[in-house]
Structure formats: structure tokens, C-alpha cells
Structure 1
Amino acid sequence: MKLSVIILNYNVRYFLELCLRSVEAAITNLDAEIIVVDNMSPDDSCDMVKQLFPNVKLIENKSNDGFSAGNNLGIKEAQGEYLCILNPDTVVAEDTFEILLKFADNTPDLGILGCKLIDGKGEFLPESKRNIPTPLVSIKKLFGYSKPYYAHHLSPDQTGKVPMLVGAFMIIKKRIYNEVGGLDEDYFMYGEDIDLSYKILKAGYQNYYNSETAVIHFKGESTLKDKAYAKRFNGAMQLFFEKHFKPNWIFNTLIWMGIKVVSIFYPKGEESFHEVIEYVFVSNKSNPQLQATLNKKLDTQAAVTNYLPNFEYILDTDFLGFKKAIEMVSKNHIKQPSTFKFLLKTSQVVLGSNSSKSRGEVIHIKNN
């Protein structure tokens, strides 16, 4: 088998459904499998997977032991030559895996392979490619200067070597994953992707960022960006330094001070607000129930060429396909001119996220 896609889910049932639909479309021409590990979600994620995706291998974890432990459960069952660790709040294009696996097969020194990640408004996510978070770089980021933290030697549209990749989307050979010890379960959440990237480099492999394909990462669905997030993230960074850099007491004091400052002044995560003056349904079919739910004029259009401020575009992936839908979002170049949602016909919802720092939105379509 060529590829195993591992998706760790916790309590994001509708985003998981959208993700699975995109992954199923993306592995049509591949010898591949999908493994979902559910970390004891209180919603009906597991029932949804069983009902709508019978070919997906589902592992129902009876406890929530964190990102690394959950993914490792799935990876133990994986049969693929390559692993793709994928967040449930992502959308991949139909050719994403084919593009990246072709690159991987032709890159002998490859460790981890990542790609361009964009948020639900089409903005590039800089964590797609990062530098090694040395103590000095990390202290700067902790106190608000984050530029050295990201790998700016490559533009978002260039392909090349980068030190660090993000756990929301990474491809790696299972053999190499096992060789370096995989995701370290000492990390509950955050830091484990940096730790794995660094172990790959120390083992003599190279990590690569590939810009030829874009993946939407709603991001806010995985973790609300609030003070608790900041404390967990910085605590994970401290663990990383202890494992790899052996920091001295001066560094430990600065990190402790930074965590205290962040815990006091980090802005509270809030639901994003975006005034919508009109909705545009991008489809080849009308949807009266959707129109009634949104209670606004809903135009049915087969193509959109110019985005308008405060318009929200409802994307029908059955009509557009996932690659075209991602392209529409990614070409949203003007500063916050519009927002996007995806239609899930089976579950009769539209969903998306207008900010990577807050929860996304799920709108249930009313039945007339």
C-alpha cells in the first residue's frame, strides 16, 4: 500500500466529515487507506464515520491521551509506505497526495514533506514552514517578535528545504517515522511536530515545503486561541528545550517570565464577526432550504470572478470539486473582502471559519 492517512479527531464532527469527503476524493487513484482515531469525542463523530464512511478504519479511543498518543494508535495500524498525519479541520484537493507523493518518490533525502496551508479566508498560514525554535528565537516569539520563528527564506509560492513543519499536515515514510521514534508522547498537545521535525534533521534527513498544492486548515476548530492555548504551547516549547537544548537557569527564568506575561495579557479567544450583506451560492443547482435558512438573497452562480466586500460565498463541492473550491478561497487576495462556507449536503449544514483564532461556524439548514 502506498499511503495511510491518519486523522485524529476530537469533537469536530462536521469538519471531520468535510475532511473525509475531500480525502476520499484525493485517494481515488491511489492504493491508500484512511484511519480515523477518535479521542473520546462527546459528539456523534464515531457514529457519523460508521454511517457515512464504511471503508474508513475507525479506532475509538476510550481516553483522550493527546495528539501524539492518539496518532500513534493509528500509525500502528497503518499499512502504507507513506503516512500522512492530517488534522480533521482540513480540506485537501483531489490531486494533493498525487503531487506530493511524486515529489517524495523523487527526493532521496526526504524526511517530512509539508505543503502550503491557508486558512478559511484564503490567507497563507506562516506555520506551514518554520525555523528551528532555538532558545533565542523562542524567547523573541514569546515576547511578540515572531518573524525569526518562520522560514522566510522561501516565499509561500516556492518549494525547498525548511527545518520545521506543522502537524496539521505532514507526509513521512513509515520506515523513517519508526526509525526516529515518531511523535513523542511526552507532549500532550503542541510541540510534538517540532520535536519530530528536529529528530528528522538530527537523523540526517531533510524536511521540505512544497508549494504546488494548497490545503485549507481552518485551524480555530482544533484549538481556540486563548490564554490556555498560550500556556500549553509555551509549556510544550519548554519541554522541547529541555529535551534538545539543555537550557540554563537564565533561559528557564526568561521562559517562566514569558509564560506568566502571556497568561495575563494574551487576548481572549472570541468568535469572529463578519457582517454579511449578501450570500452567493456557487453551484449549478438551487437550494430553497438553504436560502430560507440564510434568510437573505441567495444567488445561484456557476462561476465567481470578482469577490465583493461583505459577501459570503457558499461553495458546493459536489459541483466545484475540492481543488476548485480551494482555489477560489486561496485567490481571495483583497484584504478581507469576503468569506466562505462549504456545503455538506448529506448532513444539511454549511460550515467554515473566518478566523484562525476562533471557532468556526456550523449552520444547520432548516427543512421546509
Structure 2
Amino acid sequence: MKLSVVILNYNVRYFLELCLRSVEVALNNIESEIIVVDNCSSDDSVAMVKQLFPSVTLIENKNNYGFSQGNNIGVKHAKGEYLCILNPDTVVAEDTFSKILSFSETQSNLGIVGCQLIDGTGKFLPESKRHIPTPKVALQKLIGNSKNYYNNNLNPNQIGKTDILVGAFMVLKRAVYNEVNGFDEDYFMYGEDVDLSYKVLKAGYSNYYFGETSIIHFKGESTLKDKIYAKRFYGAMEIFYKKHFKSNAVVSALVKIVLSLASKRSLVEESEELTINETLVISQPVDEQLKHKLDGTVSFSSSLKEIPSHTQIVLDANSLGYKTSIDYIKSSNTSRQNTYRIWLKSSNFMLGSDSSVGKGEVISF
């Protein structure tokens, strides 16, 4: 088997369904499997997977074991030569896995491969490619200088080596994952992707950013970005520094002070609320029956061209496809005058997010 896609889920039932729909299409013609690990969700995620995705391997944890242990449990069941660690609040393009695997097969000494992540507004997420967050780099970022934190040597559409990749999407050989003992279970949530990336580098492998495919990561769905998040995140970074940057007492004290100050800050950046004048459904072809039912309240079109600003654009993923939807949201980001929802017509719901920090919106019909 070539690829095992491992998805750890916790209470994001609708995002998980959309993710799985996109993954299934992207795995066409690839010998593969999908493994969903549910961390004791209280919603109907488990029932949904059983009903709609009977071919998916479903692991039902009786407790919330966190990100690291949950993914490690999933990987133990994996049979693929390659693994993809994937967040449930993502949407992949039809060619994402084929492109990543084709690239991976040409590389020797391959570590982890990541791709271009955008949020629900089409904004590029700079954590897609990062440098090692040494204490010095972390201090710079805390005071507002992220120049050395993110890898700005590569533009978002390029391919090249990078140190740290994001846990929302990671592809690597299962043998490499096992060699470095997978995710460190000292981390419950946050920091484990930094740790895994760094362990793979220290084992002598090269990590790569592959910018020729984009996926949506609805950041904020699995967890909201607030002061509690900041405290947990910087607590995870303290674990990272103790493990990998042991030095003298002065440096250790400085790191503790920096992280203590950082953990008291909210990481939320308030996003400006956009005024929406109309809702436009893009579907190919236009559903005339639905158009008649919603006449006067919602506009319909089969074209992605000449869309007015201040419009909520509803993209019918079933007819447009995931790559077209992702690329359109990404290409339209420059104006930032519209909002976007992906409509899974086959399941009668739509969802999206208007910022990279706030909780997204799900509307089921």
C-alpha cells in the first residue's frame, strides 16, 4: 500500500465529513487507506463516519488522548509506505496527494513534506513553512519580529527545504515516523509538529515545503485562539526547549521568563467584519429547481467571473470540484471583499470561516 491518511477528530463532525469527501476523491488511483481516530467526541462524528464512510478504518478512543497520542494510535494501524497526518478541518485538492507523492519519490533522504495552507478567506498561512524556533527566534517573535520565525526564503508557490512543518498536513514515510518514535506524547496539543519536524531533522533527513498544491485549513475549528490557547501553546514550547535546547541556568531562566510573558497574551488578531450585500451560489450547471425555490433571496450562477464585491460566495463542491474551489478562494484573496462557503450539496450543508482565528460557520439544511 502506498499511502495511509490518518485523521484525528474531536467534535468537528461537519468539517470531518467535508474533509473525508475531498480525501476520497484525491485518493482515486492511489493504493491507499483512510484511518479516522476519534478522541471521544460528544457530537455524532462516529455515527456519521460509520454511516457515510464504511470503508474508512474508524478507531473510537474512550478518552481524549490529545493530538500526539491520538495520531500515534492511528499510525499503529497504518499499512502504507507513506503517511499523511491530516487535520479534520482541512479540504484537499484532487491532485494534492498525487503531486506530493510524485515529488517524494524523486527525493533521497526524505523527511517530512508539507504543502501550501490557506485559511477560509484564501489567506496564505505562514506556518506552512517555518524555521527552528530557537529561544532567540521565539523572543524576536514575541516582540513582533517574525522574520526569522517563518521561512520567507521561499515564496508560497515554491518548492524547497524548510525546517518546520505544520501538523495539519504532513506527509512522510512510515519508516521515518517510526524511526523517530512518532509524535512525542509529552505534548497533549500544540508543539508536537515542531518537535516531530525537529526530530526528523536531527535524524539526518531533509524536510520540504511543496508549494505547488494548496489545501484549506479552517484554523480555529479544532480550538479557538484565546489566552487559554496561548498558555497551552507556550507551555508546549517550554517542553520543546527543555528537550532540545538544554543549556546553562541563565538561558533556561530567560526562556522561562519569555514563555511566561508570552502565555499571558491573547494570540487573537481581531478581523474586520465585512458587510455582505448578497449571497451567490456557484454551481455547474445551476440547479433550476433550487433556484426556483430560493428565488429572490439567493442569486445563482455557473460562472466564477465578474462577481461583485461584498458577496457571500457559496461554492458547490460537488459540481465545481475541490481544486477549483480552493484555487478560486485563494486567487480571490487579494481583494478581501467577499466571504466564502463550501456547499456539500450531497449532504445538504455548507461551511466556511471568515478569519484564521475565529470559529467558522456551519449551516445544515
**TM-score bucket (shorter structure):** over 0.9
Shift of 1:246: 0.7
- 2:4 match: secondary structure: strand
2-structure distance, mates of 1:99, 1:199: 25
Asked whether 1:130 is paired with 2:130, we answer yes
Please give the residue correspondences for 1:137-286 in structure 2 after superposition, counting only pairs within 5 Å: 137-266=137-266, 273-283=273-283, 284-286=285-287
Corresponding residue for residue 20 of structure 1: 20
Deviation (angstroms), 1:147: 2.1
- Structure 2 gaps, min length 5: none
- Secondary structure of the structure 2 residue equivalent to 1:115: strand
Give 2:31's aligned residue: 31
Please report how far the alpha carbon of residue 311 of structure 1 lies from its aligned counterpart in structure 2 after TM superposition: 0.6
Say if 1:132 and 1:149, in contact at 8 Å, map to a contact too.
yes
Distance 2:101 2:6 in 1: 16
Aligned to 2:82: 82
Q: 1:158 to 1:291 in 2, by over 3 A?
A: farther
Distance 1:206 1:226 in 2: 33
In structure 2, what residue type is equivalent to 1:244? H
TM-aligned CA deviation for residue 267 of structure 1: 5.8
Alpha-carbon distance, 1:308 to partner: 3.1
**SS of the counterpart of 2:351?**
strand
Quick one: distance in 2 between partners of 1:89 and 1:17? 9
Change beyond 3 A, Cα 1:184–1:300: same
- Measured at CA, do residues 247 and 356 of structure 1 come closer, stay the same or move farther in structure 2, by a change above 3 Å? farther
The Cα RMSD (Å) is 2.0
Q: Distance in 2 between matches of 1:249 and 1:114?
A: 35
Matches of 1:9 and 1:292 in 2, distance apart? 35
Which residue identity does 1:325 align to in structure 2? S
Moved more, 226-235 or 138-147: 138-147
- Displacement, 1:290? 8.6
Alignment of 1:299-338 (within 5 A): 299-338=299-338
Q: Judge conservation of contact 1:281–1:299 (CA < 8 Å) in 2.
A: yes
Q: Which residue identity lines up with residue 147 of structure 1 in the other structure?
A: K
How many residue pairs get matched?
364
SS of the aligned residue for 2:148 comes to helix
Paired residues of 1:276 and 1:312 also in contact (CA < 8 A) = yes
Structure 1 position 287, deviation (Å): 7.1
Secondary structure of 2:88's counterpart equals coil
TM-superposed deviation, 1:265:
4.0
Q: Following the alignment from structure 2 to structure 1, what is the Cα–Cα distance between the partners of residues 243 and 178?
A: 19
Instruction: Deviation per CA, 1:94-121: give whole Å up to 9, x if none.
Output: 1110000000011012100001111111
Paired with 2:292 and 2:223, the residues of 1 have a C-alpha distance of: 31
Change in Cα spacing, 1:35 to 1:291, as seen in structure 2 (3 Å) is farther
The sequence identity of aligned pairs, in percent, is 55
Mapped contact 1:226–1:269 kept (Cα < 8 A): no
Amino acid of the residue matched to residue 173 of structure 1? Answer: K
Asked whether the 8 Å contact 2:230–2:265 carries over to 1, the reply is: no
User: More displaced, 175-184 or 279-288?
Assistant: 279-288
Q: Is contact 1:279–1:296 with CA below 8 Å preserved after alignment?
A: no
In structure 2, the partner of 1:349 is 349
Distance change in 2, residues 1:334/1:186 (3 Å): same
| Structure 2 Cα separation of the partners of residues 262 and 291 of structure 1 | 54
Deviations 1:310-334 (A, max 9, x none): 1111010111011111111110132
Stretch of structure 1 that moved more, 273-282 or 22-31: 273-282
- Tell me the CA shift for residue 145 of structure 1: 2.2
Q: Which amino acid aligns with 1:127?
A: E
In structure 2, do the counterparts of structure 1 residues 331 and 271 end up closer, same or farther at CA, with 3 Å as the change threshold?
A: closer
Q: CA deviation at 1:292?
A: 7.1
The structure-2 alpha-carbon separation of the partners of 1:37 and 1:272, relative to structure 1 and needing over 3 Å to count, comes to farther
User: Gapped runs of 5+ residues in structure 1?
Assistant: none
Rounded Cα–Cα distance in structure 2 between residues aligned with 1:309 and 1:85: 36
Inter-CA distance 345–260: structure 2 relative to 1 (3 Å threshold): same
The answer for the alignment partner of 1:41 in structure 2 is 41
TM-score where L is the length of structure 2: 0.94
Relative to structure 2, which stretch is displaced further, 284-293 or 22-31? 284-293
Contact 2:111/2:205, CA 8 A, preserved across alignment: yes
Amino acid at match of 1:266: S
